[in-house]
Structure 1
Amino acid sequence: QEFCEDIPLIGRTVVALDYINEELRPMTTEVRIIRDTGSEENLDAITVFHLPPQVYSNGSVTFEHGFPEAGKFIGLVTVRGEKEEYVSRFPFSVGAGGKLNLPYIIGVIVLAAVGAIFFIRSKKNKTEAA
């Protein structure tokens, strides 16, 4: 499954980041996942995952990380060139559960109720015919 914001369950997660702009490909990209503590003063102390700076000429960064517990995190992606630096912050939650899809749940309940009514009526008709 793909999630663009929050990760509903703890455990192993595959993260894929794709460059939007071709100009970023020759630059180095560094990725950090940090605990959202409200402060980024000591990055090393709050870092839960670090991917050192590297050039990704194909324009895609993919890595795995295991989240052992639920919480709020921030993905920090830093792209550096000779004279420029771009830092993107992506706040996200892990282990908060999936969002309920209420129309889907109501649809399943209605279908189950209609199926149960149909089954009971057909069984009743067979009993009366006998």
Structure 2
Amino acid sequence: MRSSSKWIGVLVLGMACSLQVHAHGGLSLADDMCKLTVGPYTMHFTGYQPESTQEQEFCEDIPNVGRTIVALDYIDEALRPMTTEVRIIRDTGSEENLDEITIFHMPPKVYPSGSVTFEHDFPAEGSFVGLVTVRDNDTEYVSRFPFAVGTGGKSNLPLILGALAVAAAAGFFFMKKGKTEGEGKTA
């Protein structure tokens, strides 16, 4: 009986670790809130695609191509007097020539209301990187988060959970087989 509870513990631990591996750059889902970490500060990140997903929010991959609305709301009041710049680039593996790979750019600006919103029309599927830069005098913080467009809102979570279940079943099978073989031997 003790060995089955051991495998349940391993399965639960594995699921927790796999959820952390699935995180995207500076974005995380905590307490049903998408948080974007920019240096010591945080923003609430929300994306919408009114034409394709109606009121469904997302904060990592963008489900479909097309018109996308993004809202960044400051969680930390200290961000209000600082400038915020937003840039979306094609994920080429290099950010050497930033202007060449930029598909959307919002120049640095102070948002005293604490809310930054923008729209972009993604014409094709692909891999991109979002860059949110906050400047306070001579200090600059950049949050870099990779994301995909055109995933259809599909998550890798079912695949990860399925793989964990198969691994747990295989472990249980081999553990049980080892015990059976060990019982047949006499010393």
TM-score (norm 1): 0.74
* 1-structure distance, mates of 2:125, 2:114: 30
**Aligned-partner residue type, residue 34 of structure 1:** I
Displacement of 1:41 after TM fit?
0.3
Identical counterparts, % of pairs = 75
In structure 2, distance between residues paired with 1:94 and 1:76: 16
Mapped pair 1:34 → 2:83 = no
Task: State the superposition RMSD in angstroms.
Answer: 1.5
For residues 55-111 of structure 1, give each alpha carbon's deviation from its aligned partner in whole angstroms, at most 9, with x where no partner exists.
Answer: 011111100000000001111000101131110012111012122798xxxxxxxxx
Could you tell me how far apart the structure 1 residues matched to 2:138 and 2:62 are? 35
Which structure is higher in RCO with an 8 Å CA cutoff and minimum separation 6? 1
Which of the residues 91, 99, 108 maps onto 2:146? Answer: 91
Question: Which residue matches 2:66?
Answer: 11
Matched, 1:65 2:136: no
Measured after TM superposition, the shift of residue 20 of structure 1 is: 2.4
Structure 2 Cα separation of the partners of residues 14 and 40 of structure 1: 24
Higher helix share: 2
Distance 1:87 1:20 in 2: 16
What are the residue-to-residue correspondences of 1:42-61 with 2, within 5 Å? 42-61=97-116
Bigger radius of gyration among the two: 1
Distance 2:99 2:57 in 1: 28
Tell me which amino acid in the other structure corresponds to 2:109: Q
Question: Normalising by the residue count of structure 2, what TM-score does the alignment of the two structures yield?
Answer: 0.52
Structure 1 stretches of at least 4 aligned residues deviating more than 4 Å after TM superposition: none
Does the residue aligned with 1:33 lie in a helix, a strand or coil? strand
Distance 1:45 1:83 in 2: 26
Question: How many residues align structurally?
Answer: 102
Q: Distance in 1 between matches of 2:64 and 2:103?
A: 17
Q: Runs of 5+ in structure 1 lacking a partner? A: 103-130
Unaligned runs of 5+ in 2: 1-55, 159-187
Give the partner amino acid of 1:55: V
Counterpart CA distance in 1 for 2:144 and 2:73 is 15
